[in-house]
Each structure stands twice: as C-alpha cells, then as structure tokens.
Structure 1
C-alpha cells in the first residue's frame, strides 16, 4: 500500500513555503508541487494540513484533501496495478493544472462584438441550460448570440448556470431565480437585461396542467405558466421566440389546447396598430346601433392591450365599473327597492362585480394557496376537492358564470332583456383574448368591412405562426429519439420560420455506441475522475469490427465528413463552443452555492461519471434483461429466478441505434454492454452536452425532495438537447434582421 502526505519545501524570500505532495510506495518516492504556498507557522506537521486559524484554511485543506483522494484512488483503488513515477506525476499534474487554471483571476467580460454581429437572447425555464448552451454555440456569417439572462425557480439551476457561464466561460450573463408568476417578476427581469433590447426569447414552460377556461383544473404550481411566458413576450417583444413542449400538447383535450395556444400567440398585438383597430370598431356603430354598448366594450377591451402592470389593472377596473354602473341604472327596472337590497340573485351580480374588480388580489391569493397546497402535498386525498372547488370559484370565468346564472333566474321584462344580455356579453368580452375579440368584431361587419378588418388583423398581429411542429432531436446530431413540439413566433418584421431543417439524414444519425463507447470503463458503485483507454477489441471480441464501423468522423452538427472531422465522443471531449471561448477556464464541480462562495471546488478531468451502488439481485435482474434485450421478453426468466420487479419499464440501450427519450430517473435505462444504470455524464452525452459542462449539486434525490431539489439527473433529463437548440439558433441567425 502507498502512503500519501504533504510537506513544506524551503521558504522563499517572502517567507512562504511551497506545499508538496509526497507518495511512498515499495521504497520508491514521488514528489509533486501542489502550487500552494503558506507560512511554515500555519502548517500542522502532524495532520499535514493547514492550521485552523490560517488564511484560506478551508479552501486549501479542501484542495489538499481532494489531491490526496485522487492519489489514493490512483494507487490503491485503480484497475491498473503498476505505474512508473513518470505516469503517476503526469496523471496528478493534470489535476493540479486544472486547479491552478481554475483559480486564476477571472475578469467577467461583456459579450461585445469580438467578431461579427451579436444578437441577444433570454432563456426562461432554463433548467440546466440546454437552450442556452445551444445558442452560445451557434454562429452564422459572423453572427452569434449574446447571452443576457436565464431564469428558473431552482437554486441548483442557478448554481449550474453561474459555474458554467460566469466562472468557466467568463460571461456576464445574469440569472433570475424567481417564479415567473410572481407580481414583480417582469420588473426584475427587465432590470437584469440592463436596458438591452432582447432579440430572442426561448424556453419550455410546463403545460401539464394547462386546461381550457371554465374547466376544473388540477391547480398545481405548473398551472398556466404558458400564459405568463407569453406575458414576457408581450413586454419584451423579441424578434423571435421559441416555446418547447412535450408532444402530447398537440392532442391534449382533442387538440383544443394547441388551438388555444395559437390563439393566445395571435393575440399578441402591435400596440402601434391599436388606434387603427379601435377607430375601425367605432365606425361599425353607425350600422350596428343596437350593439353600440358592446362595440364600446370591445374598444375598451382592445385598449387594455396597450398597457402593462398597474396601468392595465386601472383600465380593467374601469371596464368592470362601467358595466357595474350600467347594471345600477338597470336595477330599478328589473327589481323593486326591497328586492334589490335583499335578493340573493341581485346580490350575486353586485358581489360578482366586486370580485372582478379585485381580480389582481384574488390572483395573488390563488397563487399563494396553490403554493401552500403544493408544499403540503394536497393531492389524491379528502382535502383536494375542496381546494380545487375554491380555486375554481374565484376564477374570473367562474364568477361570470355565476353572474349569468343569477341573471337567468331573474324574471326580467322583455323590454330589458337586451340590457341584461349586453351586461353578460360585456363581462365575457372582458376575459376574451384578442383573437376571439376579432371574431366578435367580424360578426358586426358586412362583406366590405370584413375585407378591411382582414388587412387590420394582418397588421395588428405582432407575431406570425402557422402551426407548431414536431422536432426529433436525432435529426440534429443528438444520439436520442426525443420528440418535442416547437412553437416558433416570428415578429412581423422578420423572415418567417416554419421549421428547423435537419442537420443529418436518417442514415447519418448518431448512435448510442458513438456517444458512450469511450466512457465504458466503469463498473458498479464506481466513480471515474479521468478518462481511461477503452479496448474495443477486448470488450467485444468477435463483434469488434462491427462496433468500430459505428464510429464516424463528423462535423460539430453531426454530419459525417472525411476530413477535419471528429467522432461524437471526441467532439464531446473537445467541446463544441465557438471561437469566442478560447480563454474558457477548466471545468469544476461544487456541491452547493456555499461551497462555491468558499472556493471548495473539485477540478477533475472528467466530471459526473459515477455509477449507482446496485445490489446483487438488481445486477442479476439487469443482466437477464440485458441479455434478453427487452424487459417484456425477460419477464418469464425473471419470474423463474425470483427477480421480478414492480418497476413499470426498463429501456435497454441499443448500441447501433438512438436511445429513447432520456428522462430524469437513471434506473429506467440499462447500459448496452453492462448490467447497470447510466451515469450523469452518459445521460448528458445522450443529450449532446459537452463533457466540459458540469452538472452541479446533488447527484440524485428521492421522495418529497423532488419537489424542492433539482439534482444532476433531473437537470440532464429535463434539458433541451444543446445540439437541437444549436440548430434552432443557427436557423434564426440565418433569417434574423
């Protein structure tokens, strides 16, 4: 066994002594400079560590412990049983070099036009940063993207972002760790952009709970985040925006959700064109005298779109108060004095107006209740229905429904039925999007007026979008069949983009083996901190030739090329960042924000490559499934061996094909060559993240912690594949003005 410790060398002129690492093994000795210096009085010769009261004690001792662990792993726990002194020094010097480079002073630079033309982007619901990574990789004709701000609600997303983009790449991109539904979110986002115009917004708001207006909802924290995403678009008015979502959004509620999303996008208006539309609506009153009140309501509803925040709330309040005033004048005609003061129906209408006027306060209350409900895990229990009912009842649509019901139960004389009808319709106009308002306006047009309205609609819609489309990440050089829906909004002054062209053909797609073969040197419950040579001939014996034939030299985007190309694995090691990042620092890992503040960094050569500690029975189960090639086919044999599982599915990776969609739980996948789950790094490779992109914080978590924590596996599984994001960003750069 080797012994590993530290000692001090001779002091320099300033009285500082270099700290050296010393290894003794079989009468041989290896010495290596750590690159750190301290005063001899601060070194404890018994513990071989820095004394507690010394400057930078926590940071230096963390580094010395890290180096000792790597040396111990190399000498006492390595697959290789013999090393020369030179080999040991070279391997340990790699770790020392990474540490030194990582601790150089890093001056954050603004992303000025180092070459070419920069366009700005903001990444919402950023997670690990798959969109961000693809956008900063992209360039076309000397055009590239300047990263302004990313946003997510999770601290580990922020930590991963800060380490990658601020510390490692030296960018001044900011991070807003805040819920998009909070009232001051937009103000905070605008302050982070530092008054810079935003050209592109990207992000994938979760739409799992998104439902049609008036329907009962699940009411969780993911409710209607899409509408808040569009509120950001309305304010920033970028040249393009990309909204990514799961494929199921297209068929949810028989396609009605997709249509509603398109309606909401079409309802984002060019506010400069609003006076033109309102003038047109007013002109309709001449030929629609009986609908004058409703046309006036449509004018007021459209005018609200000119404003945001407090100003919009003022106009909304004025809108409801105007309808309330009409009802007050109507009341003596439909009910006597006593009835008007005591009748439940009249009270429902009056109090309904009060509730609508206070809509902003009710929305805040709804958000707080949903947050507390989520925190207390209220779901699938006796409490959930009462919570759901209350949250449904305070929704504006439901309030209007109750007002309409109250009107229907009043015995109104025929002479006043139209006035009651107008009040109800005016309230419905209040909650309509602009696209549906335009439909109502058309109902009041003749043929000639309809043609004029068509011209106005074409001009007033700020974004053009025909339909969402399904993009498969494997079409963009990603070794994974991950289908996602993309909504791409193109501002009316920009070139229209309807799809993202594939960068590889079906025959050229990257395989799982291409992505993972060079990482296949790790066993159960092991962690690797450096790359090791993989002998394909030894691993695959009779099929080695076939496996090697899967390896292709490619361009960065995945296109097979014969000259100046690299394999997918080589690109992953080298990195796919463009020429602006030649001064990028070595990657590092920290376990928390506190560790980053205290400089407790881990500078390995290879990060996030650790396997789970799986029990003997689990390994046997995975081995049977792997040999059978399919979980269902393996069921009989698993039953015979007493190894059956309640787990719904295992995905056996096929080396000569693409992986299925990578999710957040590693145990769902079985490595193509070993009975084990995947490491974070292997899942990141299947997502097309560079190896230099380090996922920070906890590796995994479970149970209720999944509500508040976002461990490495979840960061990877939820991400947009960077190569697909790169293809999207490149297509935008080709078209953006």
Structure 2
C-alpha cells in the first residue's frame, strides 16, 4: 500500500499501542509518539485525512474504496488486531471503527454489499441481452433457470421470443417473470440503460445470471471485419448492464472472430506501432475492472447434441468474490461445462454426433409430401411440407410438446432451371459435400454466390447462416426451410417463429426475418449445457464460501480461547 501524509491516533493504553505497532511493522509504516501522547503515522496517499481510532466493534470497508490494494494480509485473531484482506469484489478489510474528518469530502456512508444468491431449492434467475429470437433464453430455461427480462431491438425477433417465452403458452419451459415497469416490447439496450437506471439497480440480487450475444457481423470472418463497425461497440453496453445488475455469473456468445485482433490501421498510417487488441481482450479487460474473472473458449456446437458444425466463442465470467472459492476460478466453469455436455448427451440419449439426416429426414418432400402453405405471414402460391411424424430419436426429441401443425415449413419456390442445376450438383461425384464449394465448382455451375455448401447426409450440417441460399439440401434440389434450419440449430418443433420469412435490398440491415432469426441464434442445446454448468458452478462456489466461513469462525474461537 503506498501511503503518505499523517494520521493522528488516540491510543487508550500501552497494550493497544503495542498491538498497533505489530500492524505498523507488518505494513512498513513509520510512526512516532508526540508530546501530547498522540501517535503519528502515515496514511492513504491523496487523502488529507485525520483519523482517531477508538476500540470498538469492527466494521467492514470495501477495498475498492482504497486507492490501491495492501500488499500484506494478516490473520484476524482478536477484535483490535486484525486486517483481513480478500479478493476485490466483496472482499472486505476489517478495521476498528474510524471517526473520519476528510477535507473536501463527505464522511463515508453506508457500504453496499454484494447481491446474494437464491436460497437452496430456489431457481437462478437470468436476463438475456441482445436476445434475438430467444435461443440462449430457451436453452437456459431448459436447464432450469428462470428468465426475468430480455432485451432485443428488432420487432420481428422480439415477437418470436415473446410468442414462446412471454405469452403464457402451454410450453415445457417456464415463462419470463417480466418486471411491471418494463414495457413488453422491442427495446435497445441503450434505451433501457438510459430510461430505467433506478429500476435496474433494484434488480440487484434478483438477476443472478446475465446472458447475451452482441451482434457478431463486425467480428465475423464472413464479413468485412471493420473495427469502426458500430455493432462492435455494443459489448460496452453489455458491460454497463453488468455494472448495473452485478450478477453472480455472466455468459456471452459470439463468433470466433471476436478473439482476433483488428489492425489499428489509423495508427499504422502515422508510423506508430501498437499491439493490436481483439474485442475479446477489451471485453475481458472491461469486465475485470468491474469485478469479474472472465474466460472465453471456442466450442463446437456439434459436440453438445446440435446437428451442426458451428464453432462459437463462449465467454463465462464469475464475480470475483465467488471465483476465489472455485478451484481454478473461471477455468472451473469450462470443466463443469464438459461434465454438463456428457451428462446432457446421456440424459437426452443422444449420440456423440447427430447427422443431418437424423435431424431433418422427416422433413423431406419425398417422405412428408406437400400442401398449399397456410402460414399467415406467407404470400400465396407457396407449398409447405405436410408433416407426418418423426423417423429418428433426435426427431422424436424435437417433436415432444408440439401440439398441432408446425409452423415455418414453407418450401422455397425455385424455378425449373434452378432445381435442375441443384440436382446436378447433388449428383456430381466431384462436388465436395459438407464444405463450401470452391471457385472452380461455382464457375462450373454458374453460381455467383461466394459461399454455398452442399450438405452431407451422414455428417452434421455446416454452419447455418442468416442467408437461406447458403446451404443446399443433401438429397433434394432446394434450399432448406426455416424449420429445417431451426432443427439443425436444436430448436424444438413447438417453438414458433414470427415475422417475414425473408427480406432483401435495403431492408436486409433493418429487419430480422425468420431465416435471419434462426441463423443468428445460439443453439438451444449448447445454451442448455451452459446453463447446467452455471448452476453447478454457483452451487459449488456458494458451498465453498459457506464452508470457509464456518472454518474461519472455528479458528477465531480457538484463537481467542
């Protein structure tokens, strides 16, 4: 601890002076006795503070009120001797009562305590930021967590989330317990932070997990990866919400590109060499400053029962007062996530890998047949699949809880020459399946798209994107339906999608139709495993903290005795 200036101590007796000397020596403090029997020592740099210490019951002062952390910690033995120092958030320093006279400042008032976790048997509560159509929310709900509120700016995406998690439908997951002060509509995170700061502060202790996935287009390798893309700054709003709610744990999902540093071009032009920093690095740095230990790893969704090769950056953070009770801190979250992955496959009776055929073969035209599209959001003239029932265990699992006909099974209306071209691609033995077609193959078939992939029936699907014509069906000359894309993302059949099917032109950046909603979503089964891991993580941290409290109390009693 770097100290300066002087503090006046009114010592009541010689014994107290001797005990104070022990503390002073341990901290390398200098002091001397004055003629008026007062003790002078140095105190916090930058604080013109005069302090008189009287023996009484100790109080707790948060470390973040100090200019820097002490470098030495001492075991607390009795009431006047101790300074107990722990981790930064919720870590407290115990000192005798201080009567403070601070020049130019008000005396310290009440000290905030960190929000508690729910009592045993009570569910963890979560909020979802940048929620999209609700893939992450659905997965956390399937893991036994309960939603409080969700933030999504797009009206179509929010309408889908609302239809499944807010409108009291008869579905196999709990509905959100939406706050009365927050209108049930599409919100931007900046709007809620600006308009409801007081109401958000009152949710401290009531939102235990804060989840979210800021828009990824600015980080994605499929895009232009512009450092100036305003969507890249939205994670800062995420951090602001973390500060407002102080959840016990945080979860963030994004594309792997978030871990890749943007080049600081403007600085290079000036001849200044700077080490480039990724937005993941900036996120970790920002969350560390507000009291969270954070770790991110790239995971493949196909390992969690999702029939899709979809690498994603999963970031998990734990409040530091809890992380210090975990062996390995935030690393422990990913150990528990692996345990949750194995447990999930066992519980759901899923193989290590679910193939495309196992996921969507019951949605083939040849198997199900077609009928005129009845979806109210569809234009006339389209056909849809006439569903007859599941063919595989995964399909049976997906169809549980689906009462009545599925939505979003509308088929694309391809022209005859397009269908003929797609069939030639499917039947071409030289056309690689399961990977993006290379330039020679695209030129051979007159394809102008730079990204198009023919599925393999016996493998998980390639990454489902927001563009419906990025992926071709493995056996039928067509693109996928919204429902097939949702199946490959692990959305259950009871989950309804709302809004337009597609959009184009200038509206592409302004609207979030069904294909885009599905392509942007976190796979619910990946989110389910994350939810199970977070539950185990917080239970473990809470149990360890309780045991430490008991142990310290026993040691204190023995020391006094």
TM-score by length of 1: 0.46
CA-based RMSD:
3.3
**Deviation by residue 1:615-638 (Cα, 9 ceiling, x = unmatched):** 111111111111124388797788
From 240, 243, 247, the counterpart of 2:256: 247
* 1:716 correspondence with 2:560: no
Distance 2:360 2:218 in 1: 36
Look up the SS of the partner of 1:484 in the other structure: strand
Partner of 2:166: 166
Partner of 2:554: none
Partner of 1:127: 132
**Deviation by residue 1:650-687 (Cα, 9 ceiling, x = unmatched):** 21111111111110111111111101100000000000
**Deviation by residue 1:298-323 (Cα, 9 ceiling, x = unmatched):** xxxxxxxxxxxxxxxxxxxxxxxxxx
* 1:463 correspondence with 2:292: yes
Distance 2:201 2:363 in 1: 39
* 1:605 correspondence with 2:405: yes
Distance 1:161 1:173, change over 3 A: farther
Q: Contact 2:210 / 2:247 at 8 angstroms: preserved in 1? A: yes
Partner of 1:509: 353
Distance 1:694 1:193, change over 3 A: farther
From 481, 484, 490, the counterpart of 1:679: 481
Partner of 2:507: 705
Distance 2:441 2:214 in 1: 43
Q: Contact 1:179 / 1:185 at 8 angstroms: preserved in 2? A: no
- Cα distance, 1:163 vs structure 2: 1.2
Partner of 1:153: 153
**Deviation by residue 1:99-128 (Cα, 9 ceiling, x = unmatched):** xxxxxxxxxxxxxx9x94211100000001
Q: Contact 2:218 / 2:226 at 8 angstroms: preserved in 1? A: yes
Q: Contact 2:146 / 2:175 at 8 angstroms: preserved in 1? A: no
Look up the SS of the partner of 1:493 in the other structure: helix
Distance 2:405 2:141 in 1: 23
Output aligned runs, 1:554-569, within 5 Å: 567-569=393-395
Q: Contact 1:176 / 1:189 at 8 angstroms: preserved in 2? A: no
* 1:532 correspondence with 2:388: yes
Distance 1:469 1:638 in 2: 34
* 1:627 correspondence with 2:422: no
* 1:571 correspondence with 2:371: no
Partner of 1:617: 417
Q: Contact 1:624 / 1:638 at 8 angstroms: preserved in 2? A: no
Output aligned runs, 1:207-606, within 5 Å: 208-209=217-218, 219-253=228-262, 256-257=277-278, 258-268=280-290, 462-465=291-294, 467-494=295-322, 495=326, 496-498=329-331, 499=334, 500-501=337-338, 502-503=341-342, 508-521=352-365, 522=369, 527-528=383-384, 530-532=386-388, 567-575=393-401, 604-606=404-406
Distance 1:639 1:252, change over 3 A: closer
Look up the SS of the partner of 2:166 in the other structure: helix
Look up the SS of the partner of 1:121 in the other structure: strand
Look up the SS of the partner of 2:508 in the other structure: helix
Distance 2:394 2:191 in 1: 42
Q: Contact 1:186 / 1:232 at 8 angstroms: preserved in 2? A: no
Distance 1:241 1:533, change over 3 A: closer
Q: Contact 1:635 / 1:644 at 8 angstroms: preserved in 2? A: no
Q: Higher mean Cα deviation, 624-633 or 681-690?
A: 624-633
- Cα distance, 1:483 vs structure 2: 0.6
Structure 1 unmatched ranges of 5 or more: 1-112, 139-143, 269-461, 537-550, 552-566, 576-585, 588-603
Partner of 1:556: none
Q: Contact 1:519 / 1:531 at 8 angstroms: preserved in 2? A: yes
Look up the SS of the partner of 2:285 in the other structure: helix
Structure 2 unmatched ranges of 5 or more: 1-117, 179-183, 264-275, 372-380, 543-561
Look up the SS of the partner of 1:468 in the other structure: strand
Look up the SS of the partner of 1:224 in the other structure: helix
TM-score by length of 2: 0.59
**Deviation by residue 1:205-253 (Cα, 9 ceiling, x = unmatched):** 1355489xxxx97644414111111011011110000111110111223
Distance 2:198 2:355 in 1: 40
Which structure features the higher share of helix residues? 1
Distance 1:492 1:184, change over 3 A: closer
Distance 1:161 1:615, change over 3 A: same
Look up the SS of the partner of 1:117 in the other structure: coil
Distance 1:663 1:210 in 2: 15
Look up the SS of the partner of 1:614 in the other structure: coil
How many equivalent pairs are there? 364
Distance 2:176 2:442 in 1: 54
- Cα distance, 1:526 vs structure 2: 5.3
Look up the SS of the partner of 1:149 in the other structure: strand
Q: Higher mean Cα deviation, 502-511 or 684-693?
A: 502-511
* 1:731 correspondence with 2:533: yes
Distance 1:182 1:519, change over 3 A: same
* 1:204 correspondence with 2:213: yes
Larger radius of gyration: 1
Look up the SS of the partner of 2:321 in the other structure: coil
Distance 1:240 1:527 in 2: 46
Distance 1:155 1:171 in 2: 19
